[in-house]
Amino acid sequence: MDSYIESVYEGIKEKDPDQPVFHQAVLEVLETLEPAIKKFPKYKEFAILERIVEPERIIQFRIPWKDRDGIIQLNRGFRIQYNSAIGPYKGGLRLHPSVTQGLLKFLGFEQTFKNSLTGLPMGGAKGGSDFNPKGKTDSEVENFCTSFMMELYRHVGQFIDVPAGDIGVGAREIGYLYGAYGKITNLHGTCVLTGKGRTFGGSLIRPEATGYGTVYFVQEMLKTRKDDMKGKTVCVSGSGNVAQFATEKCTQLGAKVISLSDSSGWIHDPDGIDAKKLAWVMDLKNVRRGRIKEYAEHFKVDYSAKGSPWSLKCDISLPSATQNEVDAKEAKALVDNGVIAVGEGANMPCVPEAVEIFQEAKVLYAPGKAANAGGVSTSGLEMAQNSMRFFWTREEVDAKLHQIMVNIHQIAYETSEKFGDKGNYVLGANIGGFLKVADSMIAMGYLS
Ligand code: NDP
C-alpha cells in the first residue's frame, strides 16, 4: 500500500482502536483509491484523505423513554454528520442493539461515497440507537421515537440533515419521528425525513427502491456479459425491506428466488417465492412482525437455524440482511456452486476475503455503495418532490430510479476501465464516488 494511504489508515486505527468495522470499511475504500491518489497529487497536497475519513460532526445523546409498565428505560442515540461537501447530510437511522459509534461511522463513511455516486446533491450521514424495536409494543416504539426526536430535531432540517430508515426503522418509525418533529417545531410539509408515508409527503417507490435498485444494478452487470435475469435462480438473505423488494423485482423479471432469512434462521423454497408467497411474507414481517420460520411451517419447506442460504446452488446471490454476513467459506461455496453475480443489497455484507474470492473467480460483484444506492436516490427524489410541492407517478419515479441505477453502473464500470481494472466495480465505485466529493472539498477551501 502507498505510504500516504497507509499513514491515513494507521491514523484512524490509532485514534479509535475499538472500531474494527469502521477500520474495515475505510481500508476497503483507501486500498482502491491508490491509482487516483497517484494520478492526482492534489489530493495529498490538500490532505483530502485525512479529512474524508474524519466525520465533520458526531452527536451523541441519551434517550429516556417509558415502557409499557411505566418504567423509565434509557438508550443511547447518535447522529454522525460525515460529509456535507456536495449537499445536506443524508443517510438512514438504524435501531438495533448492535449500534455503536463505530458501526455508524462505517455506515456514514460508506454513505458519503454512495450518495456521490447517485449524481444527486446529498452529503453523507448515518444515525440511530441501540434500542431494539423487536418485541416492543407500538406505544413503546412511539414513546422511544418521540424521545429520540426531542434531541434530534435540533440537528436536522431540509437544508441541514435529512435522515431516513435503515435496519429497524420502517414506515411505522418514520411516521412517529415525523409526527414528533412537527409537534416540536411547528414546521410542516418540510422534507426533514424521507421514507415518509404516502399521505404525508412520501414518494411512491421509496419502499421498493433499495431492493429494486439492487436488481436493476445486477441487470446492468449481466448485460456486460450479454445475459439477463430471466430464468436465473436467486438466493436472497434477510426478509426486511431490501430483501422483500429485491425478491419482488427478481420475480417480475422472470427469475426465481429460493431463499430468505432473518437473524434466527433461513428458509429454502425450491419452487420459488412467487408474488403470492411474498405477499404472505410482507404481512408476516411488516404487520404481524413474526419470524421467517413461520414461512417454512406454512408452506412446508425446509428451515434451518444453522448456516446460511449461501450453501445453496444459485446463479445470483443478493445478501440483503446486514454487514459481514458472507464469509470466505460461504463465498467459496457460492463460487463452487456456479454463482455468476453477487449484488449487495445490504451494506458491506461480504467480508474482504469473500470479495477477493468473487473477484478472483470473475464473478460479477457489486459492492453495496453502488448496488443499494437506489434507496437513497429515491430519497433524493422525495426531497425534490417535496420542494416542488408536487408528486410524480409510480411509473415516473421508477423510471428515474432505473435511470439512476444505469448511470451508477456506467460510472463504476467506466471508472474501473479508466483506472486500469475493467469490471472491478469496487474500484470503480470507490474512485467514482470519491472524485466528486474530493474535488468539491478542494474547491470550497480547506475548512470544508
Ligand atoms: P430491515 O430491518 O427491514 O430488515 C433487516 C433484515 O436483516 C431482517 O430480516 C433482519 O432479521 C435481518 N438481520 C438484521 N440484523 C441481522 C443480523 N445481525 N444477523 C442476521 N440477520 C440480520 O432492514 P433493511 O432491509 O432496511 O436493511 C437491510 C440492509 O440493507 C442493511 O445493511 C441496511 O443498511 C441496508 N440498506 C437499507 C436501505 C433501505 O432503504 N432500507 C438502503 C441501503 C442499504 P431480524 O428481523 O431477525 O432482525
Closest residue CA from atom 37 of ligand 1: 166
1 alpha carbon – ligand 1 mean position (Å): 33
How confident is the model over 222-246, as a mean pLDDT? 98
The yes-or-no verdict on residue 448 having pLDDT over 90 is: no
Pocket test for ligand 1, best of 263, 320, 408 (most atoms within 8 A of CB): 263
Closest residue by Cα to residue 92 from 156, 159, 164, 145 = 164
The residue whose CA has the least distance to atom 17 of ligand 1 is 263
- The residue segments making up the domain with residue 138 are 3-189
Probe ligand 1: pick from 262, 289, 294, max atoms within 8 Å of CB? 262
Q: Residue 206 CA: which ligand 1 atom is closest?
A: 40
We report the CATH number of the domain holding residue 19 as: 3.40.50.10860
Sheet with 265-268: list strands edge to edge: 302-304, 265-268, 256-262, 233-236, 316-318, 341-343, 364-366
- Pick the atom of ligand 1 nearest to 347's CA: 32
Three-class DSSP labels, the chain: CCHHHHHHHHHHHHHCCCCHHHHHHHHHHHHHHHHHHHHCCHHHHCCHHHHHCCCCEEEEEEEEEECCCCCEEEEEEEEEEEECCCCCEEEEEEECCCCCHHHHHHHHHHHHHHHHHCCCCCCEEEEEECCCCCCCCHHHHHHHHHHHHHHHHHHCECCCEEEECECCECHHHHHHHHHHHHHHHCCCCCCCCCCCCHHHCCCCCHHHHHHHHHHHHHHHHHHCCCCCCCCCEEEECCCCHHHHHHHHHHHHCCCEEEEEEECCEEEECCCCCCHHHHHHHHHHHHHCCCCCHHHHHHHCCEEECCCCHHHCCCCEEECCCCCCCECHHHHHHHHHCCCCEEECCCCCCECHHHHHHHHHCCCEEECHHHHCCHHHHHHHHHHHHHHHCCCCCHHHHHHHHHHHHHHHHHHHHHHHHHCCCCCCHHHHHHHHHHHHHHHHHHHCCCCC
Q: Which residue's CA is minimally distant from atom 43 of ligand 1? A: 372
Together in a domain, 182 and 216: no
Q: 49, 131 in Cβ contact below 8 A? A: no
Report, as an integer, the average pLDDT of 310-329.
Answer: 98
Protein residue with its CA nearest to atom 44 in ligand 1: 346
Nearest CA to ligand 1 atom 3: 240
pLDDT band at 1 (very low <50, low <70, confident <90, very high): confident
Write down the pTM of the prediction: 0.96
Considering the domain architecture, whether residues 243 and 138 belong to the same structural domain is answered as: no
Q: Are residues 170 and 219 in the same domain?
A: no
Residues 235 and 182 in one domain: no
Q: In terms of domains, do 166 and 35 share one?
A: yes
Residue 404 lies in a domain: no
C-alpha of residue 205 to centroid of ligand 1, in Å: 18
Residues 89 and 229 in one domain: no
Average pLDDT for 397-410: 98
Is residue 281 located within the same domain as residue 360?
Answer: yes
Residue 421 is assigned to a structural domain of this protein: no
Residue 438 lies in a domain: no
Give tens-digit pLDDT for 264-277: 999 999 999 999 99
Pocket of ligand 1 (CB under 6 A): 165-168, 170, 210, 238-243, 262-264, 320-322, 345-347, 372, 375
Please state, in angstroms and rounded to a whole number, the distance separating the CA atoms of residues 241 and 374.
13
Query: What is the whole-number distance in angstroms between the Cα of residue 418 and the centre of ligand 1?
Result: 34
Q: How far is the CA of 237 from the centre of ligand 1 (A)?
A: 9
Give residue 356's pLDDT.
Answer: 98
96 assigned to some structural domain: yes
Kindly state whether residues 226 and 354 are assigned to the same domain: yes
* pLDDT of amino acid 234: 98
The contacts of residue 257 (CB under 8 Å, 6+ apart) are: 234, 235, 236, 246, 247, 250, 251, 272, 273
pLDDT tens per residue across span 180-231 = 999 999 999 999 999 999 999 999 999 999 999 999 999 999 999 999 999 9
Enzyme catalytic residues: 126
The answer to whether residue 407 is domain-embedded is: no
As a whole-number percent, the residues of the chain with pLDDT over 90 amount to 100
Which pLDDT score is estimated for 309? 98
Measured in angstroms, how far is the CA atom of residue 103 from the centroid of ligand 1? 14
Number of domains making up the chain: 2
Q: Are 228 and 414 in contact (CB under 8 A)?
A: no
Atom 4 of ligand 1 has which residue's CA nearest to it? 240
Segment 370-387, tens digit of pLDDT = 999 999 999 999 999 999
Domain assignment of residue 103, yes or no: yes
Amino acid at 367: P
15 and 128 share a domain? Answer: yes
Per-residue pLDDT tens digits for 46-95: 999 999 999 999 999 999 999 999 999 999 999 999 999 999 999 999 99
Q: Classify residue 165: in a domain, yes or no.
A: yes
Q: What is the pLDDT of residues 269-303, one digit of tens each?
A: 999 999 999 999 999 999 999 999 999 999 999 99
Cell of 204: 411512491
Query: What is the structure's pLDDT at 433?
Result: 98
Of 366, 381, 405, the residue that ends a domain is 366
Is 254 among the domain residues? yes
The pLDDT mean for the chain works out to: 97
Domain boundary among 306, 336, 366: 366
% of the chain residues with pLDDT over 70: 100
Please check whether residues 68 and 140 belong to one and the same domain. Answer: yes
**Domain endpoint, select from 313, 333, 366:** 366
Same domain, 166 and 232: no
Which ligand 1 atom lies nearest to the CA of residue 96? 15
Closest C-alpha among 274, 268, 328, 332 to residue 301: 268
CB 76 within 8 A of CB 129: yes
Residue pLDDT, tens place only, 320-374: 999 999 999 999 999 999 999 999 999 999 999 999 999 999 999 999 999 999 9
Same domain, 229 and 167: no
Taking the centre of ligand 1 as the mean of its atom positions, its distance from the CA of residue 168, in whole angstroms, is 7
Cβ contact 344:354 at 8 Å:
no
